[in-house]
Structure 1
């Protein structure tokens, strides 16, 4: 089996597991963990988008590194490809990518966001980030519609956001398997 097939299988397996877990977490109302799973799905998405932006043979080199467990390096360098680089590229395609990724990171790492039962995480981020998250949630997921939504108002929309990211990931992965580049996706 070639590296691209293995990579695609890895991504799909992770995504399928994330989907099963999201459904359970949503029933439990485990908001912090739902955001962490959304962040994982977004991580897969920005990696696939980054690969779509690469020309051969660089793309194959990165895919082979990934399936071998080797951290991606910048072309002709020992410096790693950073999450920021991948998220910035993803943000050009999905304008909300950076704010959701950053917000999700706060739920991956122990942070003040984990106090969400007593403090509203939306009040702990910048106005710009909060407005971007709310604007995206309203535009793509139908709400929340109140004037000043809180984190608890966003919780019902987390699974919706996850399933939208997951569907986009699947489309991007199919494009990668066809050998398309980012221009074909846009």
Structure 2
């Protein structure tokens, strides 16, 4: 139990903060048992408790996309998601995309098209792009631009990112936007 000093009255109250709870997360195909406070974000669980630091902490408000990971194949902002909410889900981070055969095709395309610049946003961009492809809504270059607009690249590598996606998705390069 924790004693909390009320800022309004200055009186002490015996409020009980929730204890840490045991949760099990499946991340990149591996099962992890963690003891976390209920308010721990998925991003902090990945970075601080599991040392999966490929997922980046950007704005911490869900506006930049640096923290994007895949949950059951769908892209989410891990900074806005509590880890306890994702028990029973399959979570994939940038570290889980490559396999024994090598890099994921999108990772290779990012390298070939110099779509990573400083690299800070790259894990979120790639996870978001894979989620976007899984959604199946992107049919044109304009669709790619619109559906990836939640991921910010401060280096301005947007055209290279679109080129990498265009190659992997095999979208016609003659489309005018």
Shorter chain as denominator, the TM-score bin is under 0.3
Query: Which structure: larger Rg?
Result: 2
The two structures have a TM-score, normalised by structure 1, of 0.23
The two structures have a TM-score, normalised by structure 2, of 0.24
Tell which has more relative contact order, 1 or 2 (C-alpha 8 A, sep 6+): 1
